[in-house]
Structure 1
Amino acid sequence: MGSATLRCIRKFSGNNNMSEKQGYTVVDGGSIITPKGFTSGGLHCGLKKTDRNDLGAIVCEVPAAAAAVYTTNVFQAAPLKVTRESLANGTLRAVIVNSGNANACTGEQGEADAYEMRAAAANHLGVAENDVAVASTGVIGELLKMDCVRSGVAGLPEKLSGGAGGAEEFCQAILTTDLVKKESCVQVQVDGKTVTIAGAAKGSGMIHPNMATMLGFMTTDAAIDAEDLHSLLRAATNVTFNMITVDGDTSTNDMLVAMASGLAENGKLNRLHPDWDAFAAGFTFVCETLAKAIARDGEGANHLIEVQVNGAVHDEAAAAIAKTVVGSSLVKSAVFGADANWGRIIAAVGRAGVPVSPDRVDISLGSIAVLKQSSPVAFDEELALAYLQGDTVLITVDLHDGDGKATAWGCDLTYDYVRINAAYRT
């Protein structure tokens, strides 16, 4: 296991003490198939030039309540149309995913290919076509190699497993430029029953979601209706996946799908259920863990940047400022260079397009105050340099204008980001 993988696991395994106070427990080694009723798997079918997995599936043994959120990009990939159609009745049995090709901006043929992909998966998995969601990620504007897809889908059933191997093969199948897989799993007590919530995601570049992440998949064995699941999914997305940015680009293929098998046999969850808050906290934690892992794994990234904004006129203003700061190329470059240039931060705060009192802003880098009441504070440059050379950089902005607060995550901007994206297609 490489150092990058170890770093990701250390940073995103969660705070067990905090999670227990909120009613859920982090499951070490848990995966997308830890919840009851799910299997998954993956294989290499030839869509990628390397021999890495490029086709995967998650399958539920029973009809699962399901919900999804999608990219707001005007140019939406063909799989999104197919998945929306499948989710019209609020249930799914399977998700089929390919990497290496986005099947986006591919016209009528691309749409036909997405429908064929769904039909082939339904046939080989023994489920109805409308119970299959389709997701794709990779290069935009190229037709899928359907001969590879057909042979790959035919071989998927024998690759499905409820063990660690099945989860690993699926996670590898959805990666593109990612350096590490992203997984998270928690458990919560609902009506005295152990309910499990898990997630897996991919994303490294073209990250500035306005609904979800690049591709994300959530599973749970909770009993919950599709409408309540969708409501929770949107709420969790707004404070997690919608609060990350790597490069300011929103993909054509962004999709986050959640499936609930109901096999934990708890009383059906909704907002009036006494265990709803604990379940929602665990669900949101899984989303946040995946979102932060995506930001940390940004293409070429050396640092995770977390921006906490407090004292805004309302939460929406705080969110706008936090995402503006963490998305600033100048802030990202300063973090890469370990330069405590707070001027980049205050400039981003001022251009976020929301009300700010310009004479009472505080800024800190970790515990190092660099600005108080919008005036410079003398600080130890060597101490700041050492802090900025660490794995994670926390930027705190206090506006002293109200009670609004928000947190956003991103990464530094390195030479490798340009190198990776200059040759992405070739």
Structure 2
Amino acid sequence: MSNKNFETEAIRTQVERTDFLEHSAPLYLTSSFLFEDAEDMRASFAEEKEKNIYSRFTNPNTSEFVDKICKMEGAEAGYSFATGMAAVFSTFAALLNSGDHIVSCRSVFGSTHALFTKFLPKWNIETSYFKVDETDKLESLIQPNTKVLYAETPTNPGVDILDLELLGKIAKKHNLILIIDNCFATPYLQQPIGFGADLVIHSATKLIDGQGRVLGGVTVGRADLIREIYLFARNTGPALSPFNAWVLSKSLETLAVRVDRHCENALKVAEFLEKHDKVEWVKYPFLKSHPKHEIAKKQMKAGGSIVAFEIKGGIAAGRKFLDAIKMCSLSANLGDTRTIVTHPASTTHSKLSEEDRNEVGISAGLVRVSVGLETVADVLNDLDQALNS
């Protein structure tokens, strides 16, 4: 972070104003940019000067968005992408070679798991997993060809917590690139670079946008690593559109105030569910009952917007619960102004075997709630009537 406070950076970081002296950043909907003369064009392509050439490379709107995220995360540089998974794939594809090895927490987003198990092995890149509660076994998985240590915290959808300080120490000890998916926490609640992360990835589609409007992703961190990612993305084309970057940059201006309300509502939802007789257990980082509550408090400002709980009655009860929801949304997204409920075992993770689901903590009755910004009493009433149905 710079010497300005978080909210000030989010609001006051802006591209250079045009001659019109606009107060809000303009939208640069252009595919390419002009050069003054042949020498200007040569020097720009030779990267002897910083200049926008083509919006697949850079654009004032994407640059503003990335600059804000870098300041929020305490990162040296960054690059933005069309989606969060474009950011994940491009980061690994840029930094890894055939024969390299990844050590990752098993509790990762489903598409990231597919990348590790179905696609990267095509290029002779293998992944070894450790369970979220077995970090003591992590170092035994490290091989001479291990290059990356990867984790997301809090995890999706189980809202488990990994100790960032511990991961940072292990990565440094073994000279590994530590990459953290910080999507659930956002840079407002957690800055993994301060704990030793080399790179931080966000699906900006989620809380950074916060209103379910656009797709986007971003990777920020060490400048030398971002340089490799930039060169890969410049040639392969997963760039964020200027319009989406403009929307996301404006969204960052309200990130702090939105996430404060998300966290306030989510804690109330978690406390309510913990007392409900139709609920087996509840997992939320800032509940004292969370097994990693103290670690969460050490590395997070607040608990985030996601609550996971186990509904009594398994898959059948989970489906009945979804059918009984009246106000909250049934959607695969999260981090929206609107509260969203998902039953992973019958929807997003239904194609996994029961054994695979259990391995990542997705039990038959697990429900994930992305708590929105509505009046929390209305959210509680909807969840209560659905549980009692």
TM-score clears 0.5: no
The structure whose residues are more often helix, as a share, is 2
The structure whose residues are more often strand, as a share, is 1
TM-score, length-scaled by structure 2: 0.28
